[in-house]
């Protein structure tokens, strides 16, 4: 049966393009006007310009038509997912729901698979995450991602793999989704370092200490350390901390340089920084880099003050 991708942002569109190599795909967008434009031009000029939509992609604004598929990729902002699941919980029961979101739900503190299980108990929950940019996937550049599902999901792995998109599976959904969510926070920090002109050595140090924080909080929450050392953790951290294609990194650059940033662009790391610091406080965990990111995004501290606060921390063993 046709796979549906729910959400026609850059990543959702790119996944639809890649998966159309295997057969028909429905790409659903909420905005009917956007859908009409995409149907006429065969391109998502708003989110993924320059990439033609293959004929095997059906672009639709009909949610009931999109929900007819057995496998649904949820390519929507993390903070929109709970409302969507609530609105369509009955129809989604029995489906395989694969989250493509990287973040933590602010109202519940849950990651995407836990949120899916809570809102739609009859659905099979999975998460697709790892080091990837939409433009690379859409253009057929080699990309490797992590597919996490509580069962071993060999058939889902085969269904979502393409000649240029290689998936590695794991049953550690907690580790996979935390790696994808937390790295966004540290990408903001890395961008701030570069935007402020502090140099690549400072960025390398920050990435290393940020990864230590990721491991600390993820293992506290039940993740396996080896998952964080893989594609969905370390791999994604490296990509987003070193490329201007990352929205989180670009936001950090704007903070570091004092320049403005387009408020219409979704930057998941901002919400995640808030959720992460609340969680760490409840658990009694030290995450100084993430704490500085939260303060910077809330504009309660300057870049110079954040840098001095981190440099003034007590010397200790690595």
Following DSSP, what letter does each residue of 77-112 receive, concatenated? -HHHHHHHHHHTHHHHTTSEEEE---S--TTT---H
User: Domain range for residue 55?
Assistant: 3-171
Model confidence at 304: pLDDT above 90? yes
**Domain check: are 124 and 208 in the same one?**
no
Q: Encode pLDDT of 251-287 as tens digits.
A: 999 999 999 999 988 899 999 999 899 999 999 999 9
Question: pLDDT category, 315, cuts 50, 70, 90?
Answer: confident
pLDDT higher than threshold 80 for residue 9: yes
Residue 318, domain member (yes or no): no
What CA–CA distance (Å, rounded) separates 172 from 228?
Answer: 10
Q: Which helix (H) or strand (E) is 147 found in, with range?
A: strand 143-149
Band of pLDDT at residue 106, cut at 50, 70 and 90: confident
Q: What is the pLDDT of residue 103?
A: 87
d(CA 269, CA 184): 5
Tell whether 202 is covered by a domain: yes
* Residue 112 lies inside a defined structural domain of this protein: yes
Q: Which of 145, 171, 197 is the endpoint of a domain?
A: 171
Tell me the pLDDT tens digit for each residue of 208-250: 999 999 999 999 999 999 999 999 999 999 999 999 999 999 9
Domains held by the chain: number: 2
Q: What is the dihedral sign for C-alpha 218, 221, 227, 231?
A: negative
Is the same domain home to 185 and 165?
Answer: no
Q: Mapping DSSP to helix (H, G, I), strand (E, B) and coil, where does residue 232 land?
A: helix
Q: In the block, which residue shows the tokens 């303060």?
A: 295
In contact, 59 and 39? CB cutoff 8 Å: yes
309 annotated to bind ligand: no
Q: Are 190 and 167 contained in the same domain?
A: no
In tens, the pLDDT along 39-69 reads 999 999 999 999 999 999 999 999 999 999 9
Q: What is the mean pLDDT of the chain?
A: 96
243 annotated to bind ligand: no
- CATH number, domain of 55, equals 3.40.50.720
132 with 189, same domain: the answer is no
In a shared domain, residues 216 and 269:
yes
Separation CA 155–CA 165 (nearest Å): 15
- Residue 168 CB coordination number (10 Å): 16
99 vs 176: CA distance, rounded Å = 11
Same domain, 122 and 270: no
Dihedral in degrees, nearest 10, Cα atoms 191, 195, 199, 204:
-10
Distance CA 131, CA 133 (A): 7
180 in Cβ contact with 234 (< 8 Å): no
C-alpha closest to that of 118 among 89, 152, 88:
89
Q: What is the distance between the alpha carbons of residues 172 and 150, in angstroms, rounded to a whole number? A: 7
- Asked if pLDDT for residue 1 goes beyond 60, the answer is no
- Please check if 151 is assigned to a binding site: no
Residue 36 is assigned to a structural domain of this protein: yes
Does 22 belong to an annotated binding site? no
Distance separating alpha carbons of residues 306 and 173, to the nearest angstrom = 33
In a domain, 233, yes or no: yes
Structure confidence at residue 294 as a pLDDT band (50, 70, 90): very high
pLDDT for 152 equals 79
The pLDDT, as a whole number, for residue 34 is: 96
pLDDT by residue (tens digit) across 134-148?
999 999 999 999 999
315, with CB counted inside 10 A (0-12, 13-18, 19+), is exposed
Whole-model pTM? 0.92
Is there a binding annotation on residue 226?
A: no
Note whether 31 and 135 are same-domain residues.
yes
Q: pLDDT digits over 166-186, tens only?
A: 999 999 999 999 999 999 999
Same structural domain for residues 193 and 144?
no
β-strand partners of 143: 165
Last residue of a domain, one of 133, 151, 171: 171
Give the model's pLDDT for residue 41: 98
Tell me if 119 is assigned to a ligand binding site.
no
% of the chain at pLDDT higher than 90: 91
**Domain check: are 117 and 194 in the same one?**
no
Question: Could you say which of 135, 150, 171 is where a domain stops?
Answer: 171
Catalytic sites, residue numbers: 183
> According to the annotation, is 264 in a ligand binding site?
no
């Amino acid at each position: 049966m046709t796979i549906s991708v729910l959400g026609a942002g850059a990543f959702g569109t790119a996944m639809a393009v890649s998966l159309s190599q295997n057969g028909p795909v429905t790409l659903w967008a909420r905005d009917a006007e956007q859908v009409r434009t995409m149907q006429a031009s065969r391109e998502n000029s708003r989110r993924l310009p320059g990439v033609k939509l293959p004929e095997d992609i059906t672009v639709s604004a009909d949610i009931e038509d999109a929900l007819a598929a057995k496998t649904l990729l949820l390519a929507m902002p993390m903070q929109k997912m709970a409302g969507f699941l609530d609105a369509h919980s009955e129809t989604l029961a029995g489906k395989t729901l694969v989250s493509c979101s990287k973040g933590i739900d602010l109202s519940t503190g849950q990651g995407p698979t836990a949120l899916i299980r809570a809102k739609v108990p009859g659905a099979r929950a999975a998460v697709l995450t790892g080091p990837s940019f939409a433009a690379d996937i859409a253009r057929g550049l080699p990309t490797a991602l992590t597919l996490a599902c509580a069962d071993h999901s060999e058939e889902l792995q085969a269904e979502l793999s393409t000649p240029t998109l290689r998936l590695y599976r794991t049953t550690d959904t907690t580790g996979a989704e935390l790696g994808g969510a937390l790295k966004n926070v540290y990408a903001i920090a890395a961008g701030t370092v570069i935007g402020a002109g502090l140099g690549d050595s400072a960025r390398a140090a920050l990435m290393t200490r940020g990864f230590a924080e990721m491991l600390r909080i993820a293992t506290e929450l039940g993740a396996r350390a080896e998952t964080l050392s893989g594609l969905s953790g370390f791999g994604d951290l490296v990509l987003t901390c070193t490329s201007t294609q990352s929205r989180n990194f670009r936001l950090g650059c704007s903070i570091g340089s004092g320049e403005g940033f387009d408020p219409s662009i979704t930057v998941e790391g901002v919400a995640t920084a808030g959720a992460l610091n609340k969680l760490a406080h409840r658990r009694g965990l030290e995450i100084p880099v993430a704490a500085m990111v939260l303060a910077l995004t809330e504009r309660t501290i300057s870049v110079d003050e954040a840098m001095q606060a981190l440099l003034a921390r007590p010397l200790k063993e690595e």
